Structure 1
Amino acid sequence: MSGSIIFINLAGAVALLLWATRMVRTGIERAYGEVLRERMRSALSNPFKAAVAGFFLAIALQSATAVALIVSGFTASGYVAATIGISALLGADLGSAFVTRILRRDLSLLVPIFLIAGTIAYRTTARRWQEMGRIFFGLGLLLLSLRLIGEASQPLKDSHVLPIIMGYLEQDWVTAFALAALLAWLFHSSVATILLLASLASHGLVPPVLIIPFVLGVNFGGAVIGAMLTRGDEKAARIVPLGNVLIRGFGMVFALALQLVWKFDLTVHFATPADAIVWLHVAANAIVMVLGLPFAGTVAGLLDKWIADPKKDDGEEMTQLSALNPSDLTNPPRALDNATREIIGMCDRIEVMLTRIFDAFLHPDEPQMKQIERLDDSVDRFNREIKLYLAKIAAGDLNADAARRQQELIEATINLEQVGDIISQSMLIKARKKQARGASFSEQGLKELTTMHQRVVRNARLAFNLIVNRDLDHARQLVAEKEIVREMVRNSEENHIRRLGGNVTSIDSSSIHIDTMRDLKEINSLLVSIAYPVLAQAGQLRTSRLL
């Protein structure tokens, strides 16, 4: 078999592994993303708990990088301190490594079972079951890809080039380390890279002396991924992944230096080279976590001093650049795309406002409340500039589809601006009123409000995505949420009236509770309206609710 055919087969198997890993992760994020985020957020109270939470979340998502992005977002939003965020990532690194140990077991019998279960689940009409089908099918493809990698790599035993490359790397461990780090960064997955190396090692294609440099390099490259993906974010979001690079990366470089001096041979301790790769990967991350947790606070403090502060808060424009390029007004399709990009920036601010307003109810903080007000000013500016920009597009140059899209964007912008007003001019006032009265929600009332808020936040993200992807299934799902939220408000009000019989806590916060539920309901209705044009264009929107 020629070298090119071997490479194509191996590349295809690796591509399937990467795609399957992504399929599983997206399925879990869509089905259980909000639950995982909320539980993760509630667990980030101290470094040890944060590390444990990061460990389990990385196992669920099969990716430490995904955890890095989630925790960086929490840190940027002020939910957790950078020290806690770095601790969570150290735990996530170990969780990601543990995933490779699970997947290296002989699970070939599960391939057809997962594929069949995934197909059946995906063919149902329930959205949650469809996402479960995505997860099962992705797991089946993932295990199948590991088998294909093994089969594709077998002919490499007879390769004349591979021994030359490996022979050189055996003499240059630093290059081997750098090559493995580059491979992990290119794959954007240390899990996939370790599984590939383990599969190659099981066929005798990885020399024992390269196991340690390769594994250490993969871990260094895996740490860099999160830092690269957040390099354009604000300072608070960058501290966490960079802290992980300093601790995990320094640990791997230090371990490589020890290997250059002492030249450990791990193969004598394991049955196969593949086992040595996987267990070294787990052990390296476990050691880094244990030794690194005590230094998380020190690293966070150093990075806070070293990283340049843009000296902007969330209420100001994150950048003076705007997608609303006046020169594109003569090209309507491009101008509409520009407006869509600008609306996404508006959505980002709305999401921050919607997320933080609930914290203002639970933990009143005047600087945070002022920040919400500044965000609303920013949303108002977006609304004004986007509408003026869309109005300048020459109507005579628009075809029917473009004219309809122009109107949809204007309506979406208006609705988003109204959402911002409800948060800043209604909900924020209630938060201050609750603080002034010293009132508190009853345990059941708080649970109802929390559930309602989480659902509206999830619907907001779905609506924001719909502005870009115009997915019909997502539009139907979003519109279905309107009746669900209406029923939640109705049940909450009935329960609240019953609690007023003797619960002093409910009496003190009665009007705030009911009005907040109705504010969230109104916000949800405005967000749902973003789906109407998509359904109308597909002929799936009734003109009236009346029978």
Structure 2
Amino acid sequence: MDFSVTLVNLAGAVALLLWGVHMVQTGVQRALGAKLRGLLGIALRNRFQAFLAGIGVTAILQSSTATGLMVTGFAAGGLMDLVPALAVMLGANVGTTLIVQLLSFHVAEVAPALILIGVLMFRRTSAAPRDFGRVLIGLGLVLMALNQFVALLDPYEDVPSLRMLLGAVSTQPVLDVILAAGLTWAAHSSVAMVLLTMSFAAKGVVPPAAAFALVLGANLGTAINPVLEGGAGDDPAARRLPVGNLINRGIGVAVGLAVLPWLGPWLVSIDPDNTRVVADFHTGFNLALAVVFFPLLTPFAGLLRRLLPTRIDTADPGRPLYLDHSAIEVPVVALGAATREALRMADALEAMLLGLRDALQRPDRRHLSELKRLDDVLDTLNTAIRSYMTSLPAEAMTEGDHRRAVEILSFATNLEHAGDVVDKGLLGIVSKQLKRGLVFSSAEADPLCGIIERLTTNLRSAAALLVTGDERAARLLVEEKGTFRGLEAEATTEHFARLRDGRLDSVETSTLHLDALRDLKRVNAHLVAAAAYPLLESRGELLDSRLR
């Protein structure tokens, strides 16, 4: 066969391998992505659970890069401590070796069966069988690609020029590491790179020493992607986890290169099968890295915090100002700090409502974008408050402290939900006005603006109620729900009356007007639930049901 044709076929086999790995990863992420993300969130309580979760999640996803990006997002959002996050990455590095171990055995014969079953499942209408079918097809393609790759190398394994070239490369382990790291970074898959290395080693195209160096490079390259893609924003603290993972991988690769002249011959003497010995070296490297770094995670995390300190941006409205972590051991002080932070959420929501009032009268695209960013502020503050409150020591809290913590969490959560209604519902109405060139008439806009003014007053009452805990104010706020129900019913009746009489300026704006009323009523319901309901419920002033 012509050598140029062989090169194209080899490139096609590599592309098929990468696509198969991609199908396995995307199939698993579609089928189990949310559950795996939830598993990581639950397991990040201590380093031991986190390490096991990292192994399990990555063994299923077959991508330490995907796991790294998920955990980096958790760490950047303040949802976990750095130590268990680093433990997850150690586990992820071990988990990604399991599929390599499986494929190191001679299982290429099952590839057609896997593809056949996968296609039959993929043709099903429900999502779960389709996603699992995608995984089976991907595994089949990986096995076929590896088998084809080895077959294509057969005629050329004894070519003198190729032997000379590969022999020159194999004498430069540092060059092997750099080459494999670059290819792994480009392919976003250490699994694919290690499998290719196994194929080279199986045919004797590269000696075991060079194969081990290529494996080291693949382990280094897979740590580069989270550093480039996982650091959120300009805050260096968001890059602590991926940088830490890259550092421990780099140290491991440096040590591995140093001991390779002695370690390589010993491994070959134990197992003469080059395919198996490359897979075992890959697994052993990551296990050794986990054993060495696991006891050192706490000081290593401290070093990362000093190297990448949190950047404090006083102009960032989403940055918590009052959540003093040194006060966590004194719950009464911490609860006061959380209350002050929750009141900042009320200020942000009030700014959204006042901006909404102006936007309904004079829609403006730039103004709309600024208002949507305020919802991100609410989300960030709510996450920070929830994380802060859950870190309080339960044994140091009284029954009253627990009750107060629930009130603060309820307030923050409901204000965040109210912001979502404004963002996705009411600002969505403004967006429709802009797209369709619609403007509310004064008969439609004036009542909406009046209701928004009333909502603003209720929001201020809810914020005051969080501080004072006054039962009379709570009852007045609850009565506002009846008022809003009456306003919506009155506006709906007026809408249909004008529709019958042909007095509508625009059917579209009238429909948007009704949608806005319903969303404003929902916002008010969240305000009542934020401050009035927890207080009245704690004092036994709420009925179980409104049914007669």
Interval of TM-score (by shorter of Structure 1 and Structure 2): 0.5 to 0.7
Question: Aligned equivalents of 1:340 and 1:106: distance in 2?
Answer: 59
When residues 211 and 513 of structure 1 are mapped into structure 2, their CA distance, relative to the original with a 3 A threshold, is farther
2:311 alignment counterpart: 310
Determine if the alignment matches structure 1 residue 271 to structure 2 residue 272: yes
Question: Aligned equivalents of 1:176 and 1:34: distance in 2?
Answer: 37
1:170 alignment counterpart: 170
Question: Aligned equivalents of 1:266 and 1:125: distance in 2?
Answer: 49
Question: Aligned equivalents of 1:375 and 1:175: distance in 2?
Answer: 53
Determine if the alignment matches structure 1 residue 242 to structure 2 residue 243: yes
Question: Aligned equivalents of 2:14 and 2:43: distance in 1?
Answer: 35
Instruction: Report the alpha carbon displacement of residue 161 of structure 1 after superposing the two structures with TM.
Output: 4.6
When residues 344 and 122 of structure 1 are mapped into structure 2, their CA distance, relative to the original with a 3 A threshold, is farther
1:219 alignment counterpart: 219
| Deviates most, 38-47 or 362-371 | 362-371
Question: Aligned equivalents of 1:239 and 1:187: distance in 2?
Answer: 24
2:201 alignment counterpart: 201
Instruction: Report the alpha carbon displacement of residue 151 of structure 1 after superposing the two structures with TM.
Output: 2.4
When residues 317 and 179 of structure 1 are mapped into structure 2, their CA distance, relative to the original with a 3 A threshold, is same
When residues 158 and 261 of structure 1 are mapped into structure 2, their CA distance, relative to the original with a 3 A threshold, is closer
| Deviates most, 262-271 or 97-106 | 262-271
1:256 alignment counterpart: 257
Question: Aligned equivalents of 1:279 and 1:512: distance in 2?
Answer: 65
Instruction: Report the alpha carbon displacement of residue 180 of structure 1 after superposing the two structures with TM.
Output: 1.6
Question: Aligned equivalents of 1:375 and 1:187: distance in 2?
Answer: 39
When residues 371 and 12 of structure 1 are mapped into structure 2, their CA distance, relative to the original with a 3 A threshold, is farther
Q: Note if contact 1:82-1:240 (Cα within 8 Å) is conserved in structure 2.
A: yes
When residues 206 and 114 of structure 1 are mapped into structure 2, their CA distance, relative to the original with a 3 A threshold, is same
When residues 255 and 432 of structure 1 are mapped into structure 2, their CA distance, relative to the original with a 3 A threshold, is farther
1:266 match: secondary structure: helix
**Cα distance per residue 1:428-485 (max 9 Å; x no partner):** 98x979x999xxxxxxxxxxxxxxxxxxxxxxxxxxxxxxxxxxxxxxxxxxxxxxxx
Q: Note if contact 1:54-1:89 (Cα within 8 Å) is conserved in structure 2.
A: yes
TM alignment of 1:327-406, pairs within 5 A? 364=405
When residues 140 and 356 of structure 1 are mapped into structure 2, their CA distance, relative to the original with a 3 A threshold, is farther
2:48 alignment counterpart: 48
1:154 alignment counterpart: 154
Q: Note if contact 1:315-1:376 (Cα within 8 Å) is conserved in structure 2.
A: no
Aligned AA for 2:220? F
Instruction: Report the alpha carbon displacement of residue 149 of structure 1 after superposing the two structures with TM.
Output: 2.3
Larger radius of gyration between Structure 1 and Structure 2: 2
Question: Aligned equivalents of 2:125 and 2:383: distance in 1?
Answer: 30
Determine if the alignment matches structure 1 residue 292 to structure 2 residue 293: yes
When residues 223 and 124 of structure 1 are mapped into structure 2, their CA distance, relative to the original with a 3 A threshold, is same
Aligned AA for 1:286? L
Q: What is the TM-score with the length of structure 2 in the denominator?
A: 0.62
Question: Aligned equivalents of 1:126 and 1:196: distance in 2?
Answer: 35
1:412 alignment counterpart: none
Question: Aligned equivalents of 2:374 and 2:130: distance in 1?
Answer: 31
When residues 38 and 291 of structure 1 are mapped into structure 2, their CA distance, relative to the original with a 3 A threshold, is same
**Cα distance per residue 1:10-43 (max 9 Å; x no partner):** 2222222222222222222222222222222212
Q: Note if contact 1:315-1:373 (Cα within 8 Å) is conserved in structure 2.
A: no
Question: Aligned equivalents of 1:513 and 1:109: distance in 2?
Answer: 67
2:144 alignment counterpart: 144
1:459 alignment counterpart: none
Aligned AA for 2:129? W
2:108 match: secondary structure: coil
1:76 alignment counterpart: 76
Q: Note if contact 2:51-2:88 (Cα within 8 Å) is conserved in structure 1.
A: yes
Q: Note if contact 2:318-2:380 (Cα within 8 Å) is conserved in structure 1.
A: no
Q: What is the TM-score with the length of structure 1 in the denominator?
A: 0.62
Instruction: Report the alpha carbon displacement of residue 65 of structure 1 after superposing the two structures with TM.
Output: 1.0
Question: Aligned equivalents of 2:436 and 2:157: distance in 1?
Answer: 61
1:127 alignment counterpart: 127
Percent identity (aligned): 28
Aligned AA for 2:39? R
When residues 128 and 513 of structure 1 are mapped into structure 2, their CA distance, relative to the original with a 3 A threshold, is farther
When residues 387 and 38 of structure 1 are mapped into structure 2, their CA distance, relative to the original with a 3 A threshold, is closer
1:14 alignment counterpart: 14
Q: Note if contact 1:316-1:375 (Cα within 8 Å) is conserved in structure 2.
A: no
When residues 121 and 171 of structure 1 are mapped into structure 2, their CA distance, relative to the original with a 3 A threshold, is closer
Q: Note if contact 2:121-2:130 (Cα within 8 Å) is conserved in structure 1.
A: yes
Aligned AA for 1:230? G
Aligned AA for 1:49? Q
Q: Note if contact 1:315-1:375 (Cα within 8 Å) is conserved in structure 2.
A: no
Instruction: Report the alpha carbon displacement of residue 232 of structure 1 after superposing the two structures with TM.
Output: 4.5
**Cα distance per residue 1:130-162 (max 9 Å; x no partner):** 222222222222222222222233344154553
Aligned AA for 2:193? T
How many residue pairs were aligned?
A: 404
Q: Note if contact 1:28-1:135 (Cα within 8 Å) is conserved in structure 2.
A: yes
Question: Aligned equivalents of 1:25 and 1:112: distance in 2?
Answer: 20
Question: Aligned equivalents of 2:132 and 2:429: distance in 1?
Answer: 44
**Cα distance per residue 1:170-205 (max 9 Å; x no partner):** 332211221121121121111110001001111111
Structure 1: which 5+ residue stretches go unaligned?
A: 319-334, 394-401, 405-417, 438-506, 516-547
Q: Note if contact 1:23-1:135 (Cα within 8 Å) is conserved in structure 2.
A: yes
Determine if the alignment matches structure 1 residue 89 to structure 2 residue 89: yes
Instruction: Report the alpha carbon displacement of residue 50 of structure 1 after superposing the two structures with TM.
Output: 1.1
Instruction: Report the alpha carbon displacement of residue 342 of structure 1 after superposing the two structures with TM.
Output: 9.3
| Deviates most, 276-285 or 359-368 | 359-368
Aligned AA for 1:71? V
Instruction: Report the alpha carbon displacement of residue 237 of structure 1 after superposing the two structures with TM.
Output: 3.4
When residues 16 and 510 of structure 1 are mapped into structure 2, their CA distance, relative to the original with a 3 A threshold, is farther
Question: Aligned equivalents of 1:242 and 1:260: distance in 2?
Answer: 29
Q: Note if contact 2:79-2:387 (Cα within 8 Å) is conserved in structure 1.
A: no
Instruction: Report the alpha carbon displacement of residue 339 of structure 1 after superposing the two structures with TM.
Output: 11
When residues 344 and 32 of structure 1 are mapped into structure 2, their CA distance, relative to the original with a 3 A threshold, is farther
When residues 189 and 432 of structure 1 are mapped into structure 2, their CA distance, relative to the original with a 3 A threshold, is farther
When residues 177 and 347 of structure 1 are mapped into structure 2, their CA distance, relative to the original with a 3 A threshold, is farther
When residues 159 and 349 of structure 1 are mapped into structure 2, their CA distance, relative to the original with a 3 A threshold, is farther
1:539 alignment counterpart: none
Question: Aligned equivalents of 1:512 and 1:196: distance in 2?
Answer: 67
When residues 316 and 151 of structure 1 are mapped into structure 2, their CA distance, relative to the original with a 3 A threshold, is farther
Instruction: Report the alpha carbon displacement of residue 115 of structure 1 after superposing the two structures with TM.
Output: 1.9
Question: Aligned equivalents of 2:133 and 2:539: distance in 1?
Answer: 43
**Cα distance per residue 1:29-76 (max 9 Å; x no partner):** 222222222222212222122111101111000111111111112212
When residues 508 and 226 of structure 1 are mapped into structure 2, their CA distance, relative to the original with a 3 A threshold, is same
Instruction: Report the alpha carbon displacement of residue 317 of structure 1 after superposing the two structures with TM.
Output: 6.9
Q: Note if contact 1:6-1:156 (Cα within 8 Å) is conserved in structure 2.
A: no
Aligned AA for 1:281? H
Instruction: Report the alpha carbon displacement of residue 378 of structure 1 after superposing the two structures with TM.
Output: 9.6
Question: Aligned equivalents of 1:202 and 1:138: distance in 2?
Answer: 22
When residues 73 and 267 of structure 1 are mapped into structure 2, their CA distance, relative to the original with a 3 A threshold, is same
Question: Aligned equivalents of 1:119 and 1:148: distance in 2?
Answer: 21
Instruction: Report the alpha carbon displacement of residue 99 of structure 1 after superposing the two structures with TM.
Output: 1.9
Structure 2: which 5+ residue stretches go unaligned?
A: 320-363, 392-404, 438-451, 472-536
Instruction: Report the alpha carbon displacement of residue 95 of structure 1 after superposing the two structures with TM.
Output: 0.8
**Cα distance per residue 1:384-437 (max 9 Å; x no partner):** 9988996997xxxxxxxx759xxxxxxxxxxxxx9xx9xx979x98x979x999
Instruction: Report the alpha carbon displacement of residue 80 of structure 1 after superposing the two structures with TM.
Output: 1.6
